[in-house]
Amino acid sequence: MIHLRIVAPEEIAHQALEVLSASEAVLNIVHLHGAATKPDGDLILCDVAREEASIVIADLKELDIPHVGSIAVEHIDTALSDAAVKAEKAAPGLPSDAVVWEEVEARTSENTELSVSFVLFMVAAMQIAAVGLVLDQPILIVGAMVVGPEFGPLAAISVALVQLQGRLAKRSLVALLVGFPLGTLAALLTSLVFIETGAFPAEFETGDHPLTSFITEPDFLSFFVAFVGGSAGVLSLTSAKSGALVGVLISITTIPAASNVGVAAAYGRWDDAAGAAAQLGINLTGIVVSGVITLFIQRRYYLARRRKHLSDPHRAAAGLPVGKSAKSKR
């Protein structure tokens, strides 16, 4: 279940109540007249079945509530209510498959900022990967994959391409175009220092590192794993299954490949550096392509439901047009 907290001017609040009351997937509607300030208005609380959340929110957005008030979305972990069970049955589909698109947009948008913490995580992940590569320790490679924050911007690019959000795509690309080179450069510098101080061996032969040599040897299976992993990662984000996302992070070799470019360059092994760069490119492409395809399919299903909902005669009671979406007041 999803909990909505809505603040709106009195007139629009009454329209919102019509929207909420008309949906069988909405329950526990509470209306507090004039209870809100900053912005001033009525406060409406309600619960809605996850499967129907984006449909209901879309109607509320047609009333221009995000511009004259606010809509807050929260998760309900447990709801002990026969009415809640009835509401979930009234909504088509299963809660585990439902996508709350506003939540996906907010979550991916938060993970695309080129912040100091993002860069530091990229650098830290590639430092761990560099040591794992030199020591031929897969456990360190796995650790580096988990630490790396790169999947957030990659998922955001997929969302931006499907929903045609140029600004989100630009922010995500900037984060990746800065984060990956800085992390690789840091891995290069650290490797040079460790080679000089004897912490790393003076020579590095890929053949002597059988457990991590796959990072510099891209093939079709590299793309296949990245493609499947990217799809699973997007599904984990849209269904809020964070456990699955951890599995995705440790299956895609973006961070180790980028780090290997720096390590190989430090040893003057340019063939290995080129192979790692190719591995990185293959993984990034596979993730974005599969993410776009997965989101496109999910989005088409939502839009089909949305078009059907627009013909609901109950929209008229809320002052919304039947058969089409209201034009934005902005």
* Residue 272 structure tokens: 């290995």
The number of residues in the chain equals 330
pLDDT at 110: 73
pLDDT, residue 330, reads 42
Provide the pLDDT for residue 214: 82
Integer CA distances (angstroms), 304 to 5, 94, 162, 222, 299, in order: 26, 17, 15, 35, 9
pTM of the model: 0.84
Q: What is the mean pLDDT of residues 96-122?
A: 84
Specify the pLDDT at position 240. Answer: 61
Q: How confident is the model at residue 180 (pLDDT cuts 50, 70, 90)?
A: very high
Q: What is the mean pLDDT of residues 112-137?
A: 92
CB proximity list for 275: less than 8 A, separation 6 or greater: 215, 216, 217, 218
Tens of pLDDT, residues 235-250: 888 876 555 455 556 6
Question: Which of the listed CATH numbers 3.40.50.720, 3.30.70.240, 3.20.20.190, 1.10.220.70 matches domain 2-98?
Answer: 3.30.70.240
Beta strands in 15-56 (DSSP E): 26-36, 41-48
Q: What share of the chain is helix, strand, coil (3-state, %, to 5)?
A: 65, 10, 25
Residue 329 pLDDT more than 50? no
Q: For tokens 């003076």, what's the residue?
A: 202
Mean pLDDT of 270-299: 93
Please give the Cα distance from 190 to 22 (Å, whole number). 62
By the 8 A CB rule, do 174 and 281 touch?
no
Q: Are β-strands 2-8 and 26-36 bridged in parallel, bridged antiparallel, or unpaired? A: unpaired
Give the long-range contacts of residues 204-208, CB within 8 A, separation 24 or more. 204/134, 204/263, 204/264, 204/267, 204/269, 206/269, 206/272, 208/136
